[in-house]
Structure formats: structure tokens, C-alpha cells
Structure 1
Amino acid sequence: MSHHMTKNHPDSPNGQDDISKNDSGNPTIHEIIDIRLSRRGLLKGGAGMVAGGFMSMGLSACVSDSSKTATTAKGFSLGFTAVAKSLNDVLSVPTGYTASILYRTGDPINGATPAYVNDGTDTAASFDFRAGDHHDGMAYFGMASGGSGMDLNNSSRGIVCMNHENINQQFLHTAAEAGVGFSTAARVAAQIDKEVNAHGVSVIEISKAGGTFSVNTASTYNRRLTAASDMDIYGPARGDTLMVTSYSNAGQKTRGTLNNCAMGITPWGTYLTCEENWAGYFKRPASGGLSAKMATAQNRYIGSSSSNGSYGWANPTGGDTSGTGLYDRWNINLTGADATADYRYAANTFGWVVEIDPFAPASIPRKRTALGRFGHEGAMPAPAVAGKPVVFYMGDDSRGEYIYKYVSTANWSSADVGGGLAAGNKYLDDGKFYVAKFNSDGSGSWVELNIANPTISGYATYAFANQADVLINCRLAADAVGATPMDRPEWTGVNPSTGDIYITLTNNSDRGKTGTTTGGKSRGLDAANPRYYSDLKGAATQTGNVNGHIIRIRESAKDHSATTFQWDIYLFGAEAGADATNINVSSLTADNDFSSPDGLWFSRAVPGLMWLQTDDGAYTDVTNCMMLAALPGTMGDGAATTITNTAVPANGNANQTVATIAGKKATTDTLRRFLVGPKGCEITGITETPDGQTIFVNIQHPGENTALADVASNTTASFESHWPDGGNARPRSATVVITKNGGGLIGS
């Protein structure tokens, strides 16, 4: 067998999402119920080669042994041939499909910005008008064909909003700069500026001509929002004491959106970008230098050890001479007389869902504080129903963190379609904010996080001042009410056919270990997080929930504003050859086995078709990261299941048998590999045209494991990847356009 222990998230240089900061001591289900213990390169296929231009981009089509067509009750079939696992530096798609490159790191978004040189010499200022790095979550918004404005049914012209989560630092700068290195204690200001500008969001107009999509660089809608752009703070935390900085003494503004990972869309036609691993960027004090309350909050979100931050943005050589705190804003040490004179609370202005209006290019994005502050992995809505609240589901991507939802006070009215940020004020600034608790019998509840709850207002660990404090420090509020810690909750999605909610739980190397975390948090197993096992990646033994799983929720009476639900585990990630009873519980085969589910997205054009993407380091000795198509069935289509977890002598944990509820076993009729990416990448972000005949997929950080020394010496042969440009080129993140040859629904 292959496999490894959970890797640090590639987009978090200090591994923020793979480090548990949940020191609440909340009991897991294991501690609440009586869990029984026991001892037990080329496009290939029938058509041959395609145009040579695809070969230079490393695009291929692949075949494997499975070519069955599956038919569902809804009439849609998975009709493509499963793509084989691959370690090649190419993008593999099924026979009969074509993939082309739309938008790469550094590509200009206007006619005045020159083509990207891709050798590190492109300027920091130019990244205000170039694609950022680490393409991630994205969404397509149809535009009117003949003019301006929205036409959400247009499949030939649209705006794509796209996140740029992080950077491949070694490829962003010159070989000479790489040779010097990037000490976080002293940074060149121009390097910081480039890295800051390579983060954020792209808003680009695209259109199709001759069957091919391209970026319209003449569009007035095109813009970049970076980690330095103006942002407004809205919702209950706007103007709160804990949001005050030297930049905004009123606590109503901040600069930048950061580590934008997954996303969401709103029923009124705006884009939600979600700030995930923002915590690691800040220069922070040791907790011993803070008040007890500040130390508790910092430890829960950022950690107790002092640090210069992931990239040392607070430490330009010679200090911050900008006169505007451009670099000092990354320093949350107490350097001034009070919060109006320093940036001690700057980190509180990150970790939010941020609303962007793609059709109003002069508008300032709004951070929506009613949706809570944590490591946001998206904010996906349930289908909007007239006269009912608008509901969003969210995961907090770190070991032992929680699943949340937001329910608006206002009821949905279709009159608000096209209402922009004003509609956002109506629905996103006033509502109820909940955290999930999972019970062992397959039931669960949503607990509102509100200062009126005496369990929160009287929490001994942290004294909440008001509702703004609850939202700013909602992890602590969730600790207080006993929410269920999960195995890195990431993307959420709502099946438009059934209303069921799906949440990817990527993995957890802590799950099942003996004892507790440093803060006293149990690592025990429970029904909703039931697996602990050992696995190999090469000669290395990995332990915990190595491959992750996907949990599924059905709200009571299928009402998304309900406060109770039922749940099961839709799918367990595993290698095909793993123990079928206790690890490969979903009966995965060579055509659909996977590890570390991350991106999860439901098609709008084909209700019930789900796309599943991986961010893996556990199975990468066998295959690069991938995307699968799924027809996931319905809540309750499986059965009660017993999993016996194997002890690892080095860990000393006793074997445990855990009762859980598993969904129906997968087959190649219901789950099939559609795409495998190039070396070192993560597959993340997907959207489609309204007709379902074009999908857009992001290939993030190919070649990310390339050594800094190899870049410094320009030893291109040692680069992990050269995708998508090929040859000796530095690799780049890129958006890929995938169509079916001859037309038709993708996946059919």
C-alpha cells in the first residue's frame, strides 16, 4: 500500500490549516456516548493526436479499463471513460474531451500590461493588472450579449471571479533573489509588494468566439483585488472596538483580502470570496506579552508562539517608511499607546466572507461579519426559496474545527436579483449564526452562537463583551456550546435535486491518537469522524484519518433554516487496495479511489451531478491530484456500519470499534475519475457555463515542491513541473477550459 500522514496545506507555508488550535476540551461523540472498545503528453485515444499546441501545454486525454455508461433515475449518465491515475506532468482528461488554457498566473487583464516574462522580473506594480497566483475557487456570471449587465443564462459571455489563495514564492522572484533567500526577519520591500499583489481575487470578462473562450482584456469589468485593496467592514462587528486599527480608528475599513480559498455565490448575483489561512501571515507577539483575554483569542486563532509571519511582510529592510503603515499592518504586536495607534487588532479584520459585485467594478468589497470569523473554506448557499430565509453553509479548515451555517433574518425575494451589495446588506448583515453538533445516532443540531445564550455569555475561558465579540471569536463561542470537532471541514455543497448538504473532511493526522492536544482537546474517535488507521507512503508510516471523508446532512423537513438534522457519511476516501471493512468502506476501485477530498461543487446545469476535487499528499506516490464526477444518491441510502480501527505500536492507542452510518457503496456508475493534474498541483475551483457544455477548472501550484536552490541555479531539469507552458518554463497556476468534442453536457 501507499500513503502518508496529512501534509501541511500547500497554500499555508506554516501549515495553519493542519494545526489544531482547538483547545476547548469539548467532548467528542466518543466521550459523550458509550463507544464499544475491542481488541480486534499527448492526447491519445481513438482520434489519435490533436493539434500540437496542446502538446506544449501538457494536456492529454487518457483511457483506462472502465468505459461503462451509468444511468440515473434523473436520466443523466456518467458516460465518459474513467481517467487512469497518473504521475506524469500533464493534465489528463477523458477521451472525447478537449482542455485548453484560459488564464495563467501573470497573464495581463488589460491591453497596457505586457505579457508575463515568467522569470521573476515582472514588477510588483504590474500585478495590479495580472492574474495572481494559486488559482482557487471561482464562479461564472453570465453577461448580456450586446451590452452591459447581467444575463445569468448566457453561456457565451460572462464574468469569472477567481480567488488567488497564495504564492509559489520561489517562482515569483528572480533566480538571483532566490539565491539570497527570503528570510522573514528582513525582506526587500518590492518583493513584499509583489507577493501582496499576487494574492486576492481576479474579476475578468471572458467570451467565446469560434468555440473558444478567451479573456477580453479591453473589458471595463476587469480588475484585481489584492491583499492591499480597500475593503469595507459590514455587519455586527462593524465599528466594534476589536476592529479598530491605525488605518481605521472607526473600525469600519481594512486593507486587503487574504488567502482566498473556496467561494460562494449569492441568489442576487454577487460573488463571495472566503478568507482561509490568513492567520499565518501576521507578525505576532508571544502570548505572555498580552492580556489574558487577548492571549486566549490569539492562541485560539493564531497560536501562542511569536513569529515574523509566513513571509515576513511586517519586516521590510529599513522598516516601514511608507507613511501609511503598509507593512506595519502585518504586525499585531502592541507597539502604540492603544489600538488607534497600531495594528494589534488587524488580524481581526481577516477571516471573513467578503462580498464582491462583479458588475460594479468601482464598488468596494464588503467583509460580512455576520457570517463569523474563522478559516473559511467557502460559503455555499442552499437554493433560494421565495418567502424563506437565505441560508449558507461553511467549513472551518483546520484539524478539530467546526461546521457552521448562517440563516438570514430577511426572507428571499426574487426582486433582489441584480441588487448588488445593497441586497447583500439586506441578507448578509442580519441573521442567525449556527454551529453543528453531531450525535452518534445520526441526528444532529444547529446551536446558535449568540451572546444571549448564557453558556456563551458565562463562558469561563473567554469573557465575550457583545455579539460582535462572539462573531470575531466564534471558534471560542463554538467551544463554549460543545460543537463537534471535525476532520478539517472544507468545501460545502447543496444538492439541488435533494437539498442534502455535503461537506468534505479532508483528513486529520491527529484523529485517534492517544491523550489530548496541548490544550486538553481529546483526539478520540466518534461516529461522525470514525476512522483511525496506519498507512504507508513509501517507507513512511502515516496515521490518523489519512484519506478523509465526506459527510452528508439532511435538514429536518428539508427546511434549510431548521435547527435539527440527520446525517450520514456519504463517502470515505481510501486506496482501492485498502482493507475493505475498516478503511475502504465505500468500496472504491482503481477507477475512482482518491484521497483528501477538498473541492466539492454541484452543477447547476445538471442537478445532482457533483464534482469532487482533491488536495492530497497521502496518495501522491501513486497519483497526482484529481477531480471526480459523482452521482451521490440521497441521505440514508446506506446503512449502519461498524469500523474497527487498527492500533499503531508507536502511537500506543488501543483498538476501537466505532459505530457509524455509511452511505451507499460507490461504483463506477456513481463515481468516476474525470481528470488528473500535473505534478505537484492541487485541483481546486470549478464553475460552468449555464448550458453545462463548458466547465472551468483551476490547477493550483503545479511544481510547488521545487527546491529554492534549483530556482536559484536555474536547474530547470530539476523543477518538479513545467506545466502549462512546457519546455524549461517555470510552472504556473492556470484555469483550464474543458469541453466535450462535438458538444454536449460535460460528464455525460
Structure 2
Amino acid sequence: MSEKTLLPNPTRRFLPMWNHVKGKRSAVTCALKCNNACLEPDANCSNNSYFKDILESTISRRAALGVTAGAAIVIGTEGLSPQSAEAASQNPNSWGRGTSGAHFNFKPIAPVSSDVDEFTVPKGFKWEPVIRWGDPLFSHAPAFDPYHQTEEAQALQFGYNNDYLAIIPDTHNPLHGVLVCNHEYINEQAMYPADLFSVDPYAIARISMMAQGLSVVELTRKKVGSPWTYVVDGARNRRITTDTPFTLVGPAAGSDLLKTVDDPTGTVVLGTNNNCSGGYTPWGTVLSGEENFDSYFVGQNTERFKRYTIKNQRSPHGWEEVDPRFNTNNPGYENEAHRFGYIVELDPQNPTAAPRKHTALGRFKHEGANIHVDPVTGRVAAYMGDDARFEYIYKFVSRDRYIEGNKAHNMTLLENGSLYVAVFTGNSEAEIDGNGTVPADGNYDGAGRWVQLTDGNRSLVPGMSIEEVLVFTRQAADLMGATKMDRPEDVEPSPITGKIYAALTNNNQRGVSGSAAADEANPRNNNRSGHVIEMIEDGNDVEATSFTWNLLLLCGDPQGDEPVYFSGFDPAKVSPISCPDNVAFDSKGNLWISTDGAPDKIQKNDGLFRVGLDGTNRGNVEQFLSVPIEAETCGPVIADHENMVYVAVQHPGEDGSFDQPHSYFPDYVPSGNRGKKSTVARHHGTVALPRPSIVQVYKHG
């Protein structure tokens, strides 16, 4: 490895996306997070029909099973506080379903300009970090010293670029709990002093391998609703990194497609990378999605590798120069990349248990997975998005049923079942011209069906074995005619209604010559600001193979040049919102959306927004907070019954460097530099760097 193999700095104008990104999105983020995916030819070259003929009527499986409301199963939770148990049993990122007397009122903030380095909250609220990159989890870990970082130190410290977040109060004592989050990717130029690149460039790769993965950290607080403090040496504290052993489970485990020279059994994988969003299960575990794993591998010139955008060239971070398994051309490692791209499950209450990778849920660029337990049948569904343009929305349904209090059994539910992919049909398809004009019936809506890919250990895809379907899931979905969507990210069911909400972040290639045309579920050409789709399964049955759908939001700035739609709510009264990414729910059933990017006409910092779903408030978007310059809002947790909100602030000051930071979040020293790009500042003897952090927001006064 040499200095030239790493991202050039500070001449970022040589980055591939430099002249292509518009608005807030950074060319640095494009290079480091997703390997400039927007410049690549579409990985999905299938000729799928985006909308099939009007669906044939389907008989509900519930009726076929003879299951009635009288056979309802009582759904419980394990490892949750009493306040959050009911909501979490239905939705892991929600708190206190319909809590009596809960009030969470705020005056929406105004959008904050994208050159402002501030974390902004409404009047009457305060914010403070819970934990920051580099904070030690153990007393034998050194304090964070940006000039003297080591692999050993980072493996004991909080990782970089936190994304998905879970805050889990203990069942019997809500003043104690545990925090779990993902660490998606790293930015070498922002993290390390320039001389380290020439003194020991190999150290950069090894430290970076320890900065990714997941963190589990114990928390404590003085009273419910007050800020948390993280606990050094907490009994459950844990760092999971690129070196942590994972167990492969499900039908593809042990397949020849997953064996390597280091693991001839095909059942043990070292590490997890580029983990994006996730979900919290009713049995008390955390799910984490391996997303842009292709960024870490050198691939082979085959269609299977190309469909996952794994290139036969040096990877953006150059890890293959430190660890041979990241180059699939090396003998014995041909299958290493096939061992990434899964939903990972971690038990935060057991710091010695090996986390698992679930092959039954398929392999693709998982944004995350969110669980819904059917209150009638007890079967479990996991809803998932493949975060790339023109990719698909998936559902997994368990073979077995949830059993309250039986954690060992419930932790096997995602190992056996059926995997489905979504097909959408529009009611007004002939009216869709890509200009975003609302159809004559006043709605973007239609019907859909879940096309089954697997049935337990059996493939339902012609010409593909069960192992091939689960390792090359994109190709299987291609063959079954799935609907190409505009970057499906978080897909999450409401804990109150069971309706499913999918965030579709954007797709500037929609309608471009040679790419898929607009359709009613993706109605806008050059879809820069994204949209949110609502899905209602037949009878709210997780096993249903048919559903109806409608668009909740066609995002953007009502004062901009993109057509927008807010379910009939007056566009003049909403907060501008762009590029929906993660979703969550509050105790009243409102949807909350965190954003990632803004087009050139908006030029505002990312934020967190509340959206009404019912009655005259449906489509009303209100901005709650704004994150600092060049940052992304991730992992929202809405504890409105406690007057608390939590977010993960990722890549603040992304375009800066170690020597010339663009942000001082979350420390903001000296105070005179707030809101400005400025030269390096000194604080307590160390350089003031932007540090990705978990932030808690609470009512004050």
C-alpha cells in the first residue's frame, strides 16, 4: 500500500463524482460510502415489466388456514422496558404505543442552510451527545488521541460513522439500558493526520477495519426522560469489527458457494462491513443490514460479480492490500464476497454470543430489516429494501410461530421460511408521463403482489438452486419479474395499523434513455428528492401475497422545480423534505423520517421530520431537527412518551480533512467558529475534529 492508493486530499476535485453531485450530497460520500454507484451502469439489466396485468384475485391464506380472530396469539417481548414492550412487539423502532397522556408538541424549525455547522432543535428542547467516535468503552482502552490512533485502541473505542441505532431500557429497571448501533464506513482523510499516510499506510487500513462493525454500550440515567450517560466497562459493552467471527445460518449455510480456504465448512465469517440500517426484534435482538459491501472487494469479471457491482480493480479503501481475503482473485478466496450482504442478528444482552448472518433473508445491499409479528397467526415477517437504484423490495415470512418468552426458539425464526419480492401495479398507469402530474383520480395508487422465491429449503425460481437464490438473490428476483424501484431503503410496518412504509431515497436515472421509464409507483423522471410508499397487505396478514399501495409523499421543496405531492395536504404549509432514508414511528402512530441528501434547489442540511398519516393531517411534514454541515441523519428512535428523541449523526464535515476540518461537531470549540468553515482549532491539547456521534434530544424547561 502507498500514499497514492488512498483517496487524494485535499484536491477532491479529482473525485469521480465531483462534477456530478448537486446540492448537499458530497462527492466524498459517494466515493467512500457507495463506490460512486451513481456513475456506474445500472447493475440491474433485466427486462422486467414494471407493471403486470391487473392482478388476479387471491384467497387470503388466513381463510385457507381457518384462522380466526378468536385464535389470536398474545405477543410478548423479551428484554424491553414496560413502557416500550407493547410497541416493540409490533415494531422495534417505536416506543409506547398510544401511551395515555403522552404529549410531544414542538414548533417546526426552519430549514438550515447547508453551510451551517450547527445541530438545531426546536425551542424548548436541548441536545447533547451520548457517545462519540473514539470514546473508550473499557477502562483499559486509551482515551481518544487522534494523533496516536492504533488498531488495538480503536477495537476498544466507539466506532466511526454510526448509522442504525437502538436504545433499549432494561425490563426491570428503566434507569439502565443498552445502546446498539452500526458503524457504516470510514473517511480516512477526515480521521487520520497526513503524516500517517506516509509513515504507516498499512496502519490506516487496520485501524479502519476496527472502526467499522457495531458497538454495544451500557447506559444509565437519573430518571426516565433525563439524558443517558454511557458506562465504561459495562458488562454488556462490546465492539464487533471486521475480525469478529459470525455464524452463517439458514438454507445456504455450508454451501460450496460460501466456502473459502479459511473456512472449508462455509459456516464461519470474519466480520461485517458497511452496515446501514436495522431493526429491533420482539425477542430482544438487533438486526443489522450489510449494504455497500462491494466497496471492500476486488471482484472477478463474471456476471455474478457485476450484478453486485463488485469490480475487478482496486477497491476504494485498499483493504485487499492488507488482508488477501478481500481480493476474490486470490486462490481460496473466490467466494469471500459471497459471505457479505446479509441481515446480521446480534443479541445485545449476551456479549459472548457469536452474531449470525441470515442466509434465508437473501443476499443483496440490505438497508435493514424490520419485524412484524402477526397477532393472529404468530408468524413473523421481515421487510427489507435493496438500497440501489432500480432494485427491489423484499419480504421474508417465518415457517414457525413466535412463542412468547421462548427466546431460544424465537431466535431461530429467521432461519426457516419463505422469501418474497414485490411487484407493483398502478391504477392510472396510462396517465404517468414522468412529470409528476397527479392522476385524475387524485392519487398515486394501485395493487401489488408478493412473488415467492423460496419455500424453506426449496427454490421456486426456475433454473436456480436454493443456495443460488439466497446467494444471488438479485438475479433470482430479476427472473421472477420484480418491480424496479427508486433506491428502496428503510421498509417498516406501523406498530398501530400494520401498514408498511418504504422510503425510496432517489433515482436520477429514472426516465433516462436506456433506463427504466417512470411508472405509478415511481412516477417522477430524474427523481432527485425521492418518495415514500404505503403498502397495505390483504387483511393485514403477514402471509398475504397481495396488497394495495399508495404514495404518501413525493418529496421535494414546494418552492423548487420538482413536482411534489403530500397526500393532498397543502404544500405551502409543509417543511421541505428530500431524500427519505430511515423511518420510525411515535406512540401516536405518526411517521418520522430522517434524510440523506438534498438536491441543488434545496441546499439545506439534513434533518428529522414528523409526518401525519391520518385524516386532515395526512401528509403534513414538520421538521424537528437539523444536523450539522455535510452530515446525514440516521437511526431515529422516537421515545415521545419520555419526551426524548435520538439520532445518529453520520459523516459531519465530510468534505474536510484532518488538518482542515469543516465541522467541530459535537464539541464546537472555539464557539466563535460555529457555523463557519474554519482552520483547525485546539482543545484540551488535541485537534478538534468532527466526530460522528449518537445524540439525544430532550425537553428542557
Q: Structure 1-normalised TM-score?
A: 0.75
Q: Deviations over 1:363-417 (max 9, x none)?
A: 000101111110101101124526421111000000000000110011122132x
Match of 1:479 in 2: 478
| Native 8 Å contact 1:155 1:690 kept in 2 | no
Q: How does 1:263-282 map to 2 (within 5 A)?
A: 263-282=278-297
Whole-angstrom distance in 2 between the partners of 1:488 and 1:737: 29
Match of 2:518 in 1: 525
The percentage of counterpart residues that share the same residue type is 32
Moved more, 16-25 or 606-615: 16-25
| Native 8 Å contact 2:104 2:640 kept in 1 | no
Q: Give structure 1 stretches of 5+ with no counterpart.
A: 34-71, 144-149, 182-186, 288-294, 317-326, 337-341, 459-463, 517-521, 533-543, 638-663, 743-748
Is 1:300 aligned to residue 293 of structure 2?
no
| Aligned partner of residue 468 in structure 1, secondary structure | helix
Match of 1:197 in 2: 210
Q: Deviations over 1:432-469 (max 9, x none)?
A: 000000011200000011389997223xxxxx2x2121
Amino acid of the residue matched to residue 612 of structure 2? L
Change (3 A) 1:741 1:690: closer
Whole-angstrom distance in 1 between the partners of 2:242 and 2:334: 18
Q: Deviations over 1:27-57 (max 9, x none)?
A: 223x979xxxxxxxxxxxxxxxxxxxxxxxx
Is 1:614 aligned to residue 604 of structure 2?
no
| Aligned partner of residue 600 in structure 1, secondary structure | strand
Amino acid of the residue matched to residue 15 of structure 1? N
Whole-angstrom distance in 2 between the partners of 1:721 and 1:5: 15
Is 1:432 aligned to residue 418 of structure 2?
yes
Is 1:504 aligned to residue 540 of structure 2?
no
Match of 2:33 in 1: 12
| Native 8 Å contact 1:595 1:619 kept in 2 | no
Whole-angstrom distance in 1 between the partners of 2:593 and 2:511: 26
**Cα distance, 1:694 vs structure 2:** 2.3
Match of 1:596 in 2: 579
Match of 1:346 in 2: 336
Whole-angstrom distance in 2 between the partners of 1:388 and 1:440: 31
Amino acid of the residue matched to residue 581 of structure 2? D
Whole-angstrom distance in 1 between the partners of 2:361 and 2:47: 24
Amino acid of the residue matched to residue 420 of structure 2? Y
Change (3 A) 1:582 1:111: closer
Match of 2:558 in 1: 576
Q: How does 1:709-720 map to 2 (within 5 A)?
A: 711=658, 714=659, 716=660, 719-720=661-662
| Native 8 Å contact 2:25 2:630 kept in 1 | no
| Native 8 Å contact 1:495 1:607 kept in 2 | no
Q: Deviations over 1:588-647 (max 9, x none)?
A: 3475111100011123xx14022110000425863111111122228xx9xxxxxxxxxx
**Cα distance, 1:76 vs structure 2:** 6.9
**Cα distance, 1:724 vs structure 2:** 1.1
Picking from 173, 185, 188, the partner of 1:169 is: 188
Q: Deviations over 1:268-315 (max 9, x none)?
A: 111111101001110223x1xxxxxxx121111124x42111201011
| Aligned partner of residue 507 in structure 1, secondary structure | coil
Moved more, 2-11 or 695-704: 2-11
| Aligned partner of residue 568 in structure 1, secondary structure | strand
Whole-angstrom distance in 1 between the partners of 2:318 and 2:175: 43
Whole-angstrom distance in 1 between the partners of 2:24 and 2:522: 16
Change (3 A) 1:117 1:456: same
Q: Deviations over 1:480-505 (max 9, x none)?
A: 01000000000112111211100000
Match of 1:640 in 2: none
Match of 1:332 in 2: 328
| Aligned partner of residue 394 in structure 2, secondary structure | strand
Match of 1:410 in 2: 400
Is 1:86 aligned to residue 112 of structure 2?
yes
Whole-angstrom distance in 1 between the partners of 2:39 and 2:489: 12
| Aligned partner of residue 490 in structure 2, secondary structure | strand
Amino acid of the residue matched to residue 298 of structure 1? F
| Aligned partner of residue 249 in structure 1, secondary structure | coil
Q: Deviations over 1:662-705 (max 9, x none)?
A: xx8633xxx21000110000000122559433222111010011
| Native 8 Å contact 1:386 1:413 kept in 2 | no
Match of 1:116 in 2: 144
| Aligned partner of residue 477 in structure 1, secondary structure | helix
Picking from 147, 153, 161, the partner of 1:126 is: 153
Match of 1:467 in 2: 466
Whole-angstrom distance in 2 between the partners of 1:559 and 1:301: 32
Match of 2:15 in 1: none
**Cα distance, 1:25 vs structure 2:** 1.7
Match of 2:663 in 1: 721
Picking from 543, 551, 561, the partner of 2:533 is: 551
Whole-angstrom distance in 1 between the partners of 2:297 and 2:325: 9
| Native 8 Å contact 1:5 1:509 kept in 2 | no
Whole-angstrom distance in 2 between the partners of 1:618 and 1:627: 17
| Native 8 Å contact 2:23 2:602 kept in 1 | no
Match of 2:73 in 1: none
Picking from 614, 624, 628, the partner of 1:633 is: 614
Is 1:312 aligned to residue 318 of structure 2?
yes
Match of 1:54 in 2: none
| Native 8 Å contact 1:254 1:349 kept in 2 | yes
Whole-angstrom distance in 2 between the partners of 1:550 and 1:411: 30
| Native 8 Å contact 2:611 2:618 kept in 1 | no
Q: How does 1:676-715 map to 2 (within 5 A)?
A: 676-688=626-638, 691-706=641-656, 708=657, 711=658, 714=659
**Cα distance, 1:155 vs structure 2:** 3.4
| Aligned partner of residue 410 in structure 2, secondary structure | helix
Is 1:401 aligned to residue 391 of structure 2?
yes
Q: Structure 2-normalised TM-score?
A: 0.80
| Aligned partner of residue 415 in structure 1, secondary structure | coil
**Cα distance, 1:547 vs structure 2:** 0.3
Aligned residue pairs, count: 594
| Native 8 Å contact 1:283 1:307 kept in 2 | yes
Amino acid of the residue matched to residue 50 of structure 2? T
| Aligned partner of residue 128 in structure 2, secondary structure | strand
Amino acid of the residue matched to residue 511 of structure 2? G
Whole-angstrom distance in 1 between the partners of 2:313 and 2:388: 19
Amino acid of the residue matched to residue 390 of structure 2? G
| Native 8 Å contact 2:373 2:379 kept in 1 | no
Change (3 A) 1:347 1:224: same
Q: Deviations over 1:45-85 (max 9, x none)?
A: xxxxxxxxxxxxxxxxxxxxxxxxxxx99987662111111
